[in-house]
A and B are shown apart, each in its own frame.
Chain A
Amino acid sequence: MFKTDDNVIKACMFISGLIFFVYGCIMMFNYDYMIDRYPTFEDNITTEFFLNWFGAVNFVAYVGILYMGLKGLERAFFAYALPVVLLQLIWVVMSLQLSGGENYTGLYAWIILFVLLAIARFRAGYPLAIEKAGSPFGVTDKTTQIMGYIAIAAVLFNVVSYFIYPGGFIEQSPLLESNPQSEHSVLGITMINIAILIALVYQFRAGLSGVLVSMSAVAGTMFFCAMLVGSVTFPDGGNPLLAFFIVLNFIVFLTIFFRNQSNF
């Protein structure tokens, strides 16, 4: 498993995968459990929407660990996972400050997760310096490179647009209610976008990574299907810009995946 003989790495990755999987499943499929445990959470579509989103992100991270369990550890995974967990940790601390510290389970789980991933990363012996690939994204295929640039531009647009106008996402989504929790959740999504941006820039420099490309393909497909379900469930409640980015991501990530999957 993980193509390593180091049992500490195996244990760290297994427990990390378990944490991602449990949080992913609870947030995506049993959000009532989360709502019951956080008194300030309102039981409405807005809370469900953001819990589903965060759950999908956790589930995709679990898919990455599953992939590496079969194909071997990849440094690129940590270039995404460590920033995303660290940023989410900061976001959880900010949430606790806003709510007055209602439930510390998430904080402890995310600290443990960060420590486990950091131990696995450093025991694997990857250097800190990032070696530059011979070409952008480490490939000569122009279509892949263009898709990579589009992905970076799209994520950058989302990050910058949040800092210019934080309330825009909620305002453009008729289904979502504007309240302190939902506004804070948009910050959480922006932090995930920052981690995705780091992972894309890493791949731009060091070359495409099988685990990150596969995770992107899974994420793109999941969000695309969720968007289709949302569009038929709430025909008048959609956010056109969000739908555009989900479709764009689906096309971009699947194009990159299918054009390069034979190399992984």
Chain B
Amino acid sequence: MIKVEDTISRVIICFLIVLFLFYGFMFIDNEPVLAFAERIGTNPSDVDAAHIQLFANLGWVYIVFAVGFTACLLAPIEQSTVFFRMMLVGSFVTSIRQIVLFMGEDGGANPVPMVASILVFILMNVLYDRAGMRIGRTF
């Protein structure tokens, strides 16, 4: 059933599925969003219906990413090249952005989102490398 043969790649993909599902489930519901906003230093009373809607949209994107990783697990690894490449660039941009936000004024209340995005970037790198997808190796 699982077509990815490398065990470490499997473990990384499974971890990323859980991570994206966790953030996805957290962002699509009202109470977890308010709790998340509070933890990253935002006053929950500042979070209105529009913010919750935007969080929910982001949550669904995360769930779709989890579905994408599940599809990668069930397909031969070379078929996932474009998805991995997109996630690698996306996680790089996100982690840089999170680092800059964390370093900025009033941005340092909670480092967990920054750590999570850096972790995803590192894991995507490992995954990309182990799958032999780096340019120069495949074409």
On A, residues with C-beta under 8 Å from B are: 29, 45, 210, 214, 221-222, 224-226, 228-229, 232-234, 254, 258, 261-262, 264
Contact = CB atoms under 8 A, between A and B. Distances in A.
Contacts of B18: 221, 224-225
Given A225-B25, A226-B25, A232 B35 contact: yes
Name the 3 nearest CB pairs between A and B, nearest first.
Answer: A225-B21, A261-B1, A233-B35
Contact of B2 (A29, A229, A234, A261): A261
Contact of B32 (A29, A210, A229, A261): A229
Contact of B26 (A29, A229, A264): A229
A210 B35 contact: no
Interface in B2-41: 2, 10, 14, 17-18, 21-22, 24-26, 28-29, 31-32, 35-36, 39
Interface of B: 1-2, 10, 14, 17-18, 21-22, 24-26, 28-29, 31-32, 35-36, 39
Given A225-B18, A225-B22, A232 B1 contact: no
A133 B22 CA distance: 38
A250 to B, nearest CB: 9
A221 B26 contact: no
Nearest to B25: A229
A262 B39 CA distance: 42
A158 to B, nearest CB: 23
Contacts of B2: 258, 261-262
